[in-house]
Amino acid sequence: MKPAGPKAPSEDAAETAPWTAVVLLSGGLDSATAAAWAIHEGYRLSALSIDYGQRHRCELDAARAVAAALGIEDHCILPIDLAAFGGSALVDTTREVPKDRSAADIGHGIPTTYVPARNTVFLGLALAMAESRGARAIVLGVNAIDYSGYPDCRPEFLAAFAEVARLGTKAGVEGRGVAIVAPLAVLSKADIIRLGLSLGLDYGLTTSCYDPDDRGRPCGRCDSCLLRAAGFAAAGATDPRTAG
């Protein structure tokens, strides 16, 4: 299923073709799909991955693999220690990652895996990179349908940040604003997977687990693993990350 979301900017085509964008690339299923979609839509991508002190560090290796597979040569992995603040099971190994939760529980409330203001921080960094590269958009794989209740994945948050980008950058005040493009925002996980498969994306390169083992193998029990498994099942596809 192809999303009905924003297209590459069409104004000033001579100036912006090929369109340039920064993609926030976590190494997960959603961000990889968003990157593949953007390339298909004609964007020339730079990628930004954040080494924020996350316990699931294997996602950075996955981000490198995805960027290489998609031919993204400009890939910045930026260290920023959000673990110094704590406040989340994803950066504090003394806190347990929720596991074996029902679909109803996953869809209710904000879990302990929420990292305070993470997407606000990440988008701010992506905006700085986009302005430095002369990019016209930031592409990210946030989703407001099959997700774990994070407030910074909602369309209203993205709209608010787009206004911040317009008001708070040189590019914005000069009328060359940076668009916030979230092509997966209203797709189900199954539709995201179908989209990625239609684009030839190798999901075996991606990782979604919040609590992988020392070899990077998914636990199969955290919210993210359960949402991923349900998405592949609904899409009628096999997850190459867990097959065999």
pLDDT for 77 equals: 98
- Rg of the Cα atoms in the chain: 17
Of the candidate ranges 63-72, 80-89, 146-155, the one whose mean pLDDT is the lowest = 146-155
Q: Is the pLDDT of residue 148 over 80?
A: no
pTM: 0.90
Of the candidates 189, 183, 196, 192, which has an alpha carbon nearest to the alpha carbon of residue 223?
Answer: 189
Of the candidates 148, 143, 151, which has an alpha carbon nearest to the alpha carbon of residue 105?
Answer: 148
Domain residue spans of the chain: 16-235
Give the model confidence (pLDDT) of 176-210 as tens digits: 889 999 999 999 999 999 999 999 999 999 999 99
pLDDT band with cut points at 50, 70 and 90 for residue 7: very low
pLDDT band with cut points at 50, 70 and 90 for residue 149: low
Give the model confidence (pLDDT) of 68-110 as tens digits: 999 999 999 999 999 999 999 999 989 999 999 998 888 788 8
Q: What is the CB neighbour count within 10 angstroms for residue 127?
A: 22
C-alpha–C-alpha distance, residues 27 and 141, integer Å: 11
Domain 16-235, architecture per CATH: 3-Layer(aba) Sandwich (3.40)
Mean predicted lDDT score pLDDT of the chain: 90
% of the chain surpassing 70 pLDDT: 91
Q: Where in 25-178 does DSSP place strands (E)?
A: 43-51, 75-79, 137-139
Instruction: Map tokens 């608010």 to a residue.
Output: 160
